[in-house]
């Protein structure tokens, strides 16, 4: 049985936290760091989430720049995730109680771009599909699948 192109399969490796991830024709691992009880066989789930956002950001900028034929040589995206108190989060106007998940994304643009072009590329970064998915209303549907064995 072939799986749909947009399906990711994650299965445990052994008895710890290590996971095997199949995405299309790619296979890689995820795990927790040793300090959290894992074996550090791969990035932790939050690192994978940030990697998805960073890759999508860079790809979206590259697509836009290619269409515009702007002189962008390279993009670097640095991301950090932290859980902060809402009262300490200046950007959190809608929820000031409890904790907030905050992702900081820094985009570095290499090339001879004007200030206006750089500002436009920051706007474009806000439109990357993964950013929109994470920031917008997302419904996760969970179902139990009966195993064959």
Closest to 84 (Cα-Cα) out of 92, 94, 76: 92
Contact (Cβ atoms closer than 8 angstroms) between residue 139 and residue 105: no
Contacts 24+ apart (CB under 8 A), 134-139: 134/49, 134/53, 134/103
Q: Count other C-beta atoms under 10 Å from residue 125's C-beta.
A: 21
pTM for this model (two decimals): 0.86
Architecture of the domain made up of 45-135: 2-Layer Sandwich (3.30)
Would the pLDDT of 5 be above 90? no
Average pLDDT value over all residues in the chain = 90
Buried residues in 26-38 as b, exposed as e (16+ CB within 10 A): eeeebbbeeeeeb
**Mean pLDDT along residues 84-100:** 61
Tens-place pLDDT, residues 106-139: 999 999 999 999 999 999 999 999 999 999 999 9
**Polymer length of the chain:** 149
């Amino acid at each position: 049985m072939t799986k749909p192109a947009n399906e990711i399969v994650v299965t445990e490796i052994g008895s710890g936290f290590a996971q095997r991830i199949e995405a299309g024709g790619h296979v890689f691992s995820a795990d927790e760091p040793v300090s959290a009880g894992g074996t550090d066989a791969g990035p932790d789930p939050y690192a994978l989430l940030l990697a998805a956002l960073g890759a999508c950001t860079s790809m979206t900028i590259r697509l836009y720049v290619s269409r515009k034929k702007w002189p962008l040589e390279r993009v670097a995206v640095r991301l950090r995730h932290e859980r902060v108190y809402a009262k300490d989060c200046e950007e959190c106007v809608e929820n000031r109680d409890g904790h907030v998940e905050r992702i900081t994304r820094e985009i570095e643009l290499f090339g001879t771009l004007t200030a206006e072009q750089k500002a436009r590329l920051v706007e474009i970064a806000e439109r990357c599909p993964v950013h929109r998915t994470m920031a917008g209303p997302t419904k996760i549907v969970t179902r139990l699948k009966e195993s064959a064995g």
